[in-house]
Amino acid sequence: MNYRNIVYVFTLSIAVLVVVLLLTSSHQVYSDDISCINNTLFYMFGESTCPYCKLQHDFFQQNYPASSHYFCILDKYADCYNKFLQFVSEELISKAGVNTQEIGVPLTIVVKDYGEYKSIVAVVIGAITDKNFWQQLACSQPGSNIPVYVGMRQAYWIATNTTDHSSLLEKYIVYPYSTSTNKESGSINSVFITTVAIVILIIVAIGGYMLHGYLKK
């Protein structure tokens, strides 16, 4: 193998190593970001014609896996519409005392699954595209009082007697269509593994080609 080939292989190896390190670093950051998301569901009531609902839905799609969010469309499914009105009337207005002028869509219920029980860690009225805000809610601990946010401002509380809100969720949460209809790409783990596998195959192929050329000399 001449000097030029050695330089070529060395440069290629460094470039591949840099790519792998960047991918590994990005993967680690993403894994840290979703550490609190694994058992969290952002359940959003909204309308298909509402631009703020679309903005919120797009944000969830772009930042979280399909299993972490659900869009219950009020103007498409009667179950969503009825449950939304019931939740607003019985929980937000009657219990929390939310001003009716502050109620609208999107309205997102943040749900945490703790295995044996489920908790509502927050209710958010309005479109929020600040990832740190949602991350903080996902990492928060449940309480007997459910905070209600108007925008990013915590303005009200829904008082409950327990941190297990399974009965509330059974009462207000519906899935009129399957979450599998969400057309999203695979998880970041799958993308990362596939990318690394491709890089390894390229390295092996180039290495085999260079070794074959060297042995022929």
Are 22 and 113 part of one and the same domain? Answer: no
Domain range for residue 157?
Answer: 38-184
Are 25 and 84 part of one and the same domain? Answer: no
Average pLDDT over residues 71-79: 98
Q: pLDDT tens for residues 33-71?
A: 567 899 999 999 999 999 999 999 999 999 999 999 999
Are 20 and 53 part of one and the same domain? Answer: no
Q: What is the pLDDT of residue 55?
A: 98
Q: Is the pLDDT of residue 187 over 50?
A: no
Q: Is the pLDDT of residue 184 over 60?
A: no
Are 57 and 129 part of one and the same domain? Answer: yes
Domain count, the chain: 2
Q: What is the pLDDT of residue 60?
A: 98
Q: What is the pLDDT of residue 185?
A: 41
Are 22 and 66 part of one and the same domain? Answer: no
Are 43 and 25 part of one and the same domain? Answer: no
Q: What is the pLDDT of residue 180?
A: 53
Are 158 and 202 part of one and the same domain? Answer: no
Give the model's confidence band at 86: pLDDT under 50 very low, under 70 low, under 90 confident, else very high. very high
Q: What is the pLDDT of residue 198?
A: 77
Q: What is the pLDDT of residue 201?
A: 72
Are 198 and 149 part of one and the same domain? Answer: no
Residues 6+ apart with CB under 8 A from 52: 46, 105, 106, 126, 127
Q: What percent of the chain has pLDDT over 70?
A: 69
Are 158 and 199 part of one and the same domain? Answer: no
Q: What percent of the chain has pLDDT over 90?
A: 60
Which CATH number do you get for residue 87?
Answer: 3.40.30.10
DSSP string covering 131-154: HHHHHHHHHSPP-SEEEEEETTEE
Are 82 and 169 part of one and the same domain? Answer: yes
Q: What is the pLDDT of residue 193?
A: 59
Q: What is the pLDDT of residue 69?
A: 97
**More reliable by pLDDT, 18 or 170:** 170
Q: Is the pLDDT of residue 133 over 60?
A: yes
Are 164 and 141 part of one and the same domain? Answer: yes
DSSP string covering the chain: --HHHHHHHHHHHHHHHHHHHHHHHHHHHHHHHTTTTTTEEEEEEE-TT-HHHHHHHHHHHHHS-GGGEEEEETTT-HHHHHHHHHHIIIIIITTT---GGG--S-EEEEEEE-SS-EEEEEEEES----HHHHHHHHHSPP-SEEEEEETTEEEEEEE-S-S--HHHHHHH---SS-GGG---PPPHHHHHHHHHHHHHHHHHHHHHHHHHHHHH-
